[in-house]
């Protein structure tokens, strides 16, 4: 049991941190996730898909936690036609920790949709079904998430430029 834990814990902890912006909440999801892994391990029919299966459990646990806490709400920012231009290379220059912090800074609705679509690879239709929202809402949340991330990346780029 410890072996499995040691193998996947660091990665899964990062997954949990991406969905909530509170360290304690991430730990709670993390523990719940591993509990479910050990509880349902016998049901796994395809051992080759173990890592994907485990990740799926943690994603589901995160979503479940968010819904349970009634935290999922959608925000619409009205930024009329403002585009944030930035050099895509900034993504290469900053660390993964900083990118995760940028993602955590997103409102929970943007963050959840962005994680599911851009990182986990779900379609809008699947996201809509999972979260109980419409496809249109999912698309708009993703659009706004990207806009905000780009805005924040642009600021970061300027700071980097200033610093040097």
Partner 1 sequence: MKNELEHIDFDTKLKAKVEGHELNGTDELWSGVQKKVLASRYKRKFFFFRALSIVVILALISTIMFYEFGFKEAQISSNESIEQIEESKKAFQNDLVSEENLIHDEEYIAPILKSPDKVNLVNNLNEDSHLYPELNEILDASTTDSSNFNKGEELKTQIVKHDKFLEIFENNNRNIKSESSHKDIKTKVAIDTSKNLIDLNQITNNYLLNSNIEVDTLKGFTESTNLDIDFLEYKNNQNQISEDTSNFIDNLVIRKSDVDENTEIDTSSLDLVQMNTLNQTDSVEITIPNKSGPNRFALTPYISPLYSDRYLKVNSIISGSSDYISAFRQSETGKISYEFGLDLNLEINDKWQIISGVNYSNLGYQYNPQEIDLEHDTINDQFSLYSSVGNHKFEGEEFDEEGEQEQDEEDEISFKSKINLSVISVPLGIERYFNFNKHQLVVESSITFNYILSNALIINQINFEGEDQSNDFVFRNIEGINRFFVGARLGFGYQFNLNDKLALMVKPNVFVSFSELNSNAFVRSFPLSYGLKTGIKFSL
- Whole-number minimum distance, CB 25 to partner 1, in Å? 13
CB distance 134 to 128 below 8 Å? yes
Q: List the structure tokens of 79.
A: 């930024």
Concatenated DSSP letters of 76-134: ----TT------TTHHHHS-HHHHHHHHHHS-HHHHHHHIIIIIS---HHHHHHHHT--
Q: Does 42 bind partner 1 (CB under 8 A)?
A: no
Task: Find the part of the chain contacting partner 1 (CB under 8 A) among 74-82, 105-113, 116-124, 154-162.
Answer: 116-124
Q: Does 96 bind partner 1 (CB under 8 A)?
A: yes
Closest CA to 112 of 56, 78, 76, 74: 74
Binding site for partner 1 (CB under 8 A): 1-2, 5, 9-11, 13-14, 17-18, 27, 30-32, 34-36, 38-40, 56-57, 60-61, 63-64, 67-68, 70, 88, 91-92, 96-97, 99-100, 103, 117-119, 125, 128-130, 132-136, 146, 149-150
């Amino acid at each position: 049991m410890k072996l499995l834990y040691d193998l996947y814990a660091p990665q899964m902890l990062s997954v949990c941190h991406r969905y909530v912006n509170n360290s304690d909440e991430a730990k709670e999801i993390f523990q719940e996730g591993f509990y479910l892994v050990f509880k349902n391990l016998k049901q796994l029919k395809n051992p080759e898909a173990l890592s994907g299966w485990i990740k799926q459990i943690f994603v589901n646990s995160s979503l479940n936690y968010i819904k349970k806490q009634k935290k999922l709400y959608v925000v619409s920012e009205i930024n009329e036609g403002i585009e944030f231009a930035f050099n895509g290379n900034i993504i290469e220059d900053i660390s993964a920790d900083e990118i995760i912090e940028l993602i955590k800074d997103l409102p929970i609705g943007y963050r959840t949709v962005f994680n599911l679509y851009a990182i986990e690879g779900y379609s809008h239709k699947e996201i809509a079904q999972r979260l109980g929202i419409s496809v249109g809402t999912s698309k708009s949340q993703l659009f706004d998430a990207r806009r905000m991330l780009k805005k924040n990346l642009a600021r970061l780029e300027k700071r980097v430029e200033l610093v040097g």
